[in-house]
Amino acid sequence: MTDRSAGAADAYGTRDPDALARRAGTRANPDNDQHFLVDDRVLDRLPTYLPADADRSHLLEVGGGAGALTDRLLAAVGAGGAAAGDSDDDTSNAAEGGPVGRVTVIERDPPFAAFLREEFAAAVDAGTLTVLEGDALEVELPDFTACVANLPYGISSEIAFRLLPRKKSLVLTFQAEFADRMVASAGESEYGRLSVSAQHYANVEVVERIPKEAFDPQPAVESAVVRCTPRDPDYEVGDEAFFLRFVKALFTQRRKTVRNAIRNTAHISGLDAPDAVVDAVDEDLLGRRPGTLDPSAFAALAELAREHGSPAEA
């Protein structure tokens, strides 16, 4: 690894993704769900999608790979040098005189984890970068303040729902179809369990579409960047675990009426008395289908189910 440019050890935000891959000496393996983002313009934009008031003092990245995004995140926390594409309205900690934050990157592939520690040795030594080697679904997550990541698509759902309950700002790349389901509204064809569950924790929005050509190797589908801004929902649920389980249950019967969905899915929701729930629900609501109910309607229905259906423990 002798082709590192002068000054790269203490200036971040401009490393070339292709050069990083060459120095790593290992290509991304699609069989291991590795598709590295290599478009500089997209990489530069990702940290800027964090909400203006997001706490950038400890950024988390999941799936560091050869470090192209890691490099941009180190710039965003002011670890050395300015982030590429900084403008007058930049809100990162890289502003002159701003505090220096830190980055934690989770990488399960040992060769890439070792490369990240070597490539960014100065940041590791300074305490501004920590490389956690392991599976993002199994390692203990640090006390991060925000997350920016190009997620492995095969486990994107599981990772997203490890992160969302932490109520932190998230900027995550997903397959475009998955992203569209996250942000869908009641009545739309993409609306489902994923929509209700994600929107329970945050305001979710697609902020950019990414073509296949921005990745190496290219995935089979297009991707999208989703921003999740944490918020408290405008409804209350007495038991969050039951609420999410109830939503999951009803969407397994999305083409049925709510009446039949409640009765047919007691084994999933854990209701002991589904008929008692049906008797307690307004007739107009019973005739609708799950895909037409917004999250607040699901919450109200779940509370009735808890009150009248004696839900068993999960």
Annotated binding residue 107: yes
d(CA 183, CA 186): 10
Annotated binding residue 129: no
What length does the chain have? 314
| Contact partners, residue 16, CB within 8 Å, separation at least 6 | 40
Nearest C-alpha neighbor of 72 from the set 39, 28, 30: 39
Strand 169-175 relative to strand 146-150, pairing: parallel
| Contact partners, residue 87, CB within 8 Å, separation at least 6 | none
180 phi/psi in degrees, rounded to 5: -65, -35
| Contact partners, residue 295, CB within 8 Å, separation at least 6 | 196, 199, 200, 233, 235
d(CA 313, CA 307): 14
d(CA 162, CA 126): 29
Annotated binding residue 135: yes
Annotated binding residue 63: yes
Q: What is the DSSP string of 9-40?
A: GG--S---HHHHHHHHT----GGGT--EE--H
Annotated binding residue 53: no
Name the packing angle between helices 68-76 and 17-24 (round to 10°): 120
Query: From the annotation, which residues make up the binding site?
Result: 35, 37, 63, 107, 135, 150
Query: From the annotation, which residues make up the binding site for S-adenosyl-L-methionine?
Result: 35, 37, 63, 107, 135, 150
